Amino acid sequence: MASLTILCGSAEFRYTSRHASCFSRFRGVMILKNSRFGFTVIELLIVLVIMGILTTIAAPNYWTFMAQRRLNGTARHLAMHFMQARAQAITTNKKIIVNLLNGNQYCFVTDNDGDETISSGDTSGAIYDIYPDYYDVTFAAASSGFNPIFRPDGTSQTGTINVSSSVAGITAKTITFSRAGRVKING
């Protein structure tokens, strides 16, 4: 029986006369006939069904995870802006009031008359809106009428702001203000 060895990269194929029906010659190159490359439709359908089942199991956990991330992101975003208000009060040597306009908007107000209330002589800054990025999160003062006030010496009015999500099962966060001017996220 005649044999021929074909080298293809690191693979070695031994061709004998009894394998003659498996090979054909194309431009001097031996190629395998009736070879099976790829996947069958059944194999692809099985993979798609398995992926569908896994997606169905994972989707609810993913949405809850993302809602928790948006709540955490909102709390960090607000705390960072409140610290900027404190820095602005120290830099400008004027009291800064963070005016909570509604559940998702706030602005910094420079207290020009120093009475720690928002009056007609005070200067309002830009309005910040958390809604586009954090659409299912709202915030509100824990006590009615509370607006954080930062003084030029770095101190602040004490109080708490609650940050909550409209998604069920998400634990709310609180942002507390100490008399020393510290802004802390709890929860």
Q: What is the pLDDT of residues 144-180, one digit of tens each?
A: 889 999 999 999 999 999 999 999 889 999 999 999 9
Q: Are residues 87 and 15 in the same domain?
A: no
Phi then psi for residue 98, to 5 deg, are -90, 110
Per-residue pLDDT tens over the stretch 37-77: 678 899 999 999 999 999 888 888 888 899 999 999 999 99
Q: Are residues 138 and 83 in the same domain?
A: yes
Q: Are residues 100 and 148 in the same domain?
A: yes
Q: Are residues 13 and 102 in the same domain?
A: no
- Split into its structural domains, the chain has a count of 2
Residue 168 lies in a domain: yes
Q: Domain residues for 178?
A: 72-186
Residue 145: per-residue pLDDT: 87
Q: Are residues 81 and 154 in the same domain?
A: yes
Residue 61 lies in a domain: no
Residue 182 lies in a domain: yes
Per-residue pLDDT tens over the stretch 78-88: 999 999 999 99
Q: Are residues 26 and 104 in the same domain?
A: no
* Cα 161 from chain centre: 22
From the list 158, 148, 130, the residue with the least C-alpha distance to 85 is: 148
Q: Are residues 8 and 86 in the same domain?
A: no
- The answer to whether 137 touches 165, Cβ cutoff 8 Å, is yes
Q: Are residues 105 and 27 in the same domain?
A: no
Distance from C-alpha of 150 to C-alpha of 160, rounded to nearest angstrom: 14
